[in-house]
């Protein structure tokens, strides 16, 4: 840039131009630094532990900003798909939690009909209740630490369908101004693309909406908050893990393992790079004679393939090298050229520590574990899996109770909707007038849900030995410590027999069936043995059957 000369010395003009150029340079440097600073914000947020982390954006200083969680979730998604350690840790827990399935029933037949209809709905099976859907949900819970279930209710029939909103679309959780642990609304922002039905043109649109928390009970229901729609008919149930009580969002359960899994990956990559470099040279040749000797050896060993006529081919496998004095040829030694592979074990152990999955599960190396210590050492890991099963039992029970409530509101199930002392809706089922038990006729219909997971470890022999020991006192005559019907149930459960209730009903008919009075054996039949003898006989029969099963 040149400025017009308007008077004054030429030297002053040159100085002014120089100063302008310096300002331009400073401005360019500042612009570059600002861009670099903005790019590094995300990395700073992912390494906050270096200086004691604090929020870079958002409403509070107790948790990561929403942008930071999005970055973490993106990394976790990539690592789950690509990094073997992270993938194996996540899938191991998922397979232990849901690998054997889960059985869900309601105790009361009328309630169970509603529950099973919800579970069998094709849309619900695809989203939640089918085996594969449950496996995916457990995987997503480990990866992203948050699940947002949204319910779609048929107001006339009371049927419920469930979907989940992707974590990245929930941008804000609005809570009670006087109680931060009481969520009111979830703000969702998402992009939708497709063909416009009216114009026939492909379009991409941005949408926003507020969804009420499923437990938020309000007498005032605004249609919009600001200019954003509130979808009152689509309540959301938020499930979050790996968070503290003052955090609104959970943080990925494998977040603490990402750095160490990356370190182990780089450790192996560096070893592979060194070995690849060493593999370029297989032999070490030493010769006397200086440059002349080196040139002579090179001529002897060089290939002539490039000339189109190979006259110096490589020796056949197993050939003998013969050289003069001062000429020595030996294999290139690579031992000790790199760090031992076992030095990388510390990185694997940190991944194991962060995820709770033992090392031999992550690597498939049985040498790091043995049967003698498995039961004792892996108990914390098994407790972790059972804890997650209990969490899912609670989640599924909560969802099914919501389904039962909506069935009452629509009149599918008998009951009433009232208010508690806090003004919140309370759904109560009607009295169980048709119950055969007189005492239960004066109580509401039972709405208990049973969510049962099979035993993670099926150690049948140990369980059977404990049952037999408890019933027979280690082979001695029966002591009456376990009632015969309960003993039979325990044995059938230990053997993993299906439909136990039907078998017990057949073996032990209901008490209200006609039976001979005390001391009155049926006509034409011999007198029954005393109860003690019957019990001992039953125990012996069951013990013999168990032994036959275990020896197969």
Tokens of 404: 């039962």
How would residue 194 be classed by pLDDT, with cut points 50, 70 and 90?
confident
Tokens of 147: 């699940």
Cα–Cα–Cα angle for 454, 460, 461, rounded to 5 degrees: 165
Asked if the model's pLDDT at residue 60 lies above 70, the reply is no
Asked if the model's pLDDT at residue 58 lies above 50, the reply is no
The answer to whether the Cα torsion of 450, 212, 173, 150 is positive or negative is positive
- The domain segmentation of the chain, as residue ranges, is 10-50, 83-145+253-296+338-457, 147-251, 460-513+527-550
| Mean pLDDT along residues 382-408 | 96
Asked if the model's pLDDT at residue 551 lies above 70, the reply is no
Residue 412 DSSP class: S
The pLDDT tens digits for 460-517 are: 666 667 666 666 656 666 666 777 778 777 777 766 666 677 777 777 777 655 445 5
Tokens of 138: 């457990």
Tokens 């600001």 belong to 226
User: How far is 400 from 102, CA to CA, in rounded Å?
Assistant: 15
The pLDDT tens digits for 102-119 are: 999 999 999 999 999 999
User: How far is 462 from 372, CA to CA, in rounded Å?
Assistant: 15
Q: What is the mean pLDDT of the chain?
A: 80
């Amino acid at each position: 840039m040149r400025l017009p000369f308007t008077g004054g010395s030429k030297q002053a003009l040159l100085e002014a131009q120089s100063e302008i150029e310096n300002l331009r340079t400073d401005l360019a440097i500042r612009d570059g630094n600002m861009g670099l600073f903005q790019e590094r914000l995300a990395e700073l947020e992912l390494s906050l532990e270096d200086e004691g982390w604090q929020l870079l954006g958002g409403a509070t200083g107790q948790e990561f900003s929403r942008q930071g969680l999005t970055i973490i979730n993106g990394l976790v998604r990539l690592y789950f798909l690509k990094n073997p350690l992270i993938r194996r840790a996540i899938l191991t827990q998922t397979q232990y939690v849901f690998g054997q399935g889960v059985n869900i029933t309601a105790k009361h037949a009328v309630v169970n009909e509603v529950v099973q209809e919800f579970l069998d709905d094709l849309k619900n099976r695809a989203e939640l209740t089918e085996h594969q859907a449950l496996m995916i949900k457990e995987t997503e819970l480990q990866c992203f630490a948050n699940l947002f279930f949204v319910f779609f209710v048929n107001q006339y029939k009371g049927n419920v369908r469930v979907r989940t909103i992707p974590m990245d679309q929930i941008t804000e959780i609005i809570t009670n101004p006087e109680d931060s642990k009481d969520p009111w609304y979830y703000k969702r922002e998402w992009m939708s693309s497709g063909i416009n039905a009216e114009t026939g043109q492909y379009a991409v649109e941005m949408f926003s909406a507020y969804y009420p928390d499923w437990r938020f009970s309000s007498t005032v229901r605004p249609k919009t908050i600001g200019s954003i729609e509130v979808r009152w008919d689509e309540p959301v149930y938020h499930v979050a893990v790996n968070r503290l009580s003052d955090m609104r969002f959970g943080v990925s359960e494998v977040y603490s393992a990402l750095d160490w899994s990356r370190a182990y990956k780089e450790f192996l990559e560096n070893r592979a790079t060194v070995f690849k470099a060493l593999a370029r040279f297989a032999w070490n040749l030493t010769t006397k004679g200086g440059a002349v000797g080196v040139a002579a050896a090179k001529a002897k060993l060089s290939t002539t393939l490039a000339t189109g006529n190979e006259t110096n081919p490589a020796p056949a496998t197993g050939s003998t090298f013969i050289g003069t004095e001062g000429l020595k040829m030996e294999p290139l030694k690579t031992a000790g050229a790199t760090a031992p592979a076992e030095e990388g074990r510390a990185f694997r152990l940190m991944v194991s520590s962060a995820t709770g999955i033992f090392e031999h599960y992550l690597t498939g190396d049985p040498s790091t574990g043995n049967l003698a210590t498995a039961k004792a050492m892996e108990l914390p890991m098994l407790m972790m899996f059972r804890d997650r099963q209990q969490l899912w039992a609670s989640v599924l029970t909560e969802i099914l109770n919501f389904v039962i409530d909506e069935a009452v509101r629509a009149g599918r199930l008998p009951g009433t909707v009232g208010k508690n002392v806090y003004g919140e809706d309370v759904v109560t089922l009607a009295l169980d007038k048709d119950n055969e038990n007189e005492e239960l006729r004066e109580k509401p219909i039972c709405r208990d849900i049973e969510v049962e997971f099979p035993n993670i470890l099926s150690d049948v022999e140990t369980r059977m030995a404990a049952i037999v020991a408890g019933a027979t006192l280690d082979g001695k005559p029966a002591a009456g410590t376990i009632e015969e019907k309960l003993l039979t149930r325990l044995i059938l459960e230990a053997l993993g027999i299906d439909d136990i209730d039907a078998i017990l009903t057949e073996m032990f008919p209901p008490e209200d069936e006609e039976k001979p009075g005390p001391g009155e054996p049926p006509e034409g039949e011999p007198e029954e043995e005393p109860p003690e003898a019957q019990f001992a006989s039953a125990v012996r029969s069951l013990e013999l059957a168990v032994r036959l099963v275990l020896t197969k």
